[in-house]
């Protein structure tokens, strides 16, 4: 097995390597790719020194799997070239997510849609992944009608420079700014660019990707996404309306039985999910589970996950594992 990680020096790229090591991901040869300014630099991984190579060189290797985490422009240009060589490309950017010819996959939910001829596979948006992980099993039982979600997203979702901006502001240091306003002691209702309909691209990603992953365009989805000065992970306040009547005890049982989901809901003892608890974890944590008393068949819950892990790196590695387990790699 030849494996390529594109964007290996970024936050998600580094997390991909960590996840591969933790899960003992199988490979014979590993190649790390980064921007031209990093070519030639060395990274230690599994007691071996790996020299960063350029993307063209990596493409010509005709690897079995390439995990991309280098932005949409890179993916649009290079993913098809890798695919032409027979490489399975698992892409973390938004470039291919809504392409009707490409699968958008969370393995626990819709891994079954993957086929041997899928050469470019899209990894969903981090905020979408954690929400659908919690809602998909409930959709099977009760059928979703409408979702209203507000997110509280970590600066790590923007990248290393955003983390540095937060740390600079916290330390009173003047430095590079990636946000239009201070992020420390603040909350920015602005993730990605604003669209003509008044929503941001991040908000519309949640709308469109949720429907595609769940395979149901009838579900109403509306989102407000907010950047907050946290590092451990993203949090979401989810209000979900279903077609069928809910039983809270059954809801909890369904979620507790869902692989990859941890119910953390004991409010009498102040037990509920928080970003600080999700950091470095692969699970999606669900708490504050309660009925919406303002209308029937509606549920409120609080969903938290490490956006660099299940929201990006872990899900991508899981897709690769799934393809290998099902003998979909050739």
Q: Considering 50, 112, 190, 234, which one is annotated as catalytic? A: 234
φ and ψ at residue 252, rounded to 5 degrees: -65, -40
Sheet of 220-227: strand order equals: 220-227, 144-153, 234-242, 298-305, 284-291, 261-263
Residue 176's contacts (CB-CB under 8 Å, 6 or more residues apart) are 161, 164, 165, 168
Do residues 314 and 69 lie in contact, with contact meaning Cβ atoms separated by under 8 Å? no
Question: Could you confirm whether 190 is annotated as catalytic?
Answer: no
CA distances from 30 to 71, 79, 238, 286, 325 (A): 21, 18, 39, 35, 19
Do residues 175 and 164 lie in contact, with contact meaning Cβ atoms separated by under 8 Å? yes
State CA 302 to chain mean position distance: 17
Q: Considering 50, 59, 112, 126, which one is annotated as catalytic? A: 126
Question: Could you confirm whether 234 is annotated as catalytic?
Answer: yes
Do residues 305 and 275 lie in contact, with contact meaning Cβ atoms separated by under 8 Å? no
Residues annotated as catalytic (active site), given as ranges: 126, 234
């Amino acid at each position: 097995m030849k494996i390529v990680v594109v964007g290996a020096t970024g936050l998600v790229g580094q997390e991909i390597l960590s996840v591969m090591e933790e899960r003992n991901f199988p490979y014979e040869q590993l190649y790390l790719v980064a921007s031209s300014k990093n070519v030639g630099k060395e990274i230690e991984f599994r007691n071996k020194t790996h020299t960063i190579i350029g993307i063209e060189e990596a493409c010509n290797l005709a690897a079995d799997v390439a995990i991309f985490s280098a932005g949409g422009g890179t993916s649009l240009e290079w993913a098809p070239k890798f695919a032409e060589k027979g490489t399975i490309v698992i892409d973390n950017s938004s470039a291919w997510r809504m392409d009707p010819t490409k699968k958008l996959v969370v393995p626990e939910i819709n891994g079954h849609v993957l086929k041997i001829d899928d050469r470019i596979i899209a990894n969903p948006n981090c905020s979408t992944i954690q929400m659908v992980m919690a809602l998909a099993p409930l959709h099977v039982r009760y059928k979703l009608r409408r979702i209203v979600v507000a997110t509280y997203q970590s600066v790590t979702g923007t990248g290393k420079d955003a983390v540095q901006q937060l740390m600079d502001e916290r330390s009173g240091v003047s430095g590079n700014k990636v946000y239009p306003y201070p992020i420390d002691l603040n909350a920015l209702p602005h993730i990605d660019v604003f669209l003509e309909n008044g929503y941001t691209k991040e908000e519309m990603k949640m709308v469109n990707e949720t429907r595609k992953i769940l395979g149901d365009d009838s579900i109403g989805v509306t989102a407000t996404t907010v950047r907050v000065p946290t590092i451990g992970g993203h949090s979401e306040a989810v209000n979900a309306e279903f077609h069928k009547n809910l039983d809270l005890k059954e809801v909890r049982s369904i979620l507790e039985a869902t692989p990859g989901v941890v119910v953390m809901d004991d409010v009498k003892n102040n037990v509920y999910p928080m970003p600080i608890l999700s950091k470095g974890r692969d699970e999606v944590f669900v708490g504050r589970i309660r009925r919406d008393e303002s209308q029937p068949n509606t549920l409120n819950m609080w969903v938290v996950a490490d956006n660099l892990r299940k929201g990006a790196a872990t899900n991508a590695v899981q897709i690769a594992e799934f393809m290998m387990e099902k003998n979909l790699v050739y």
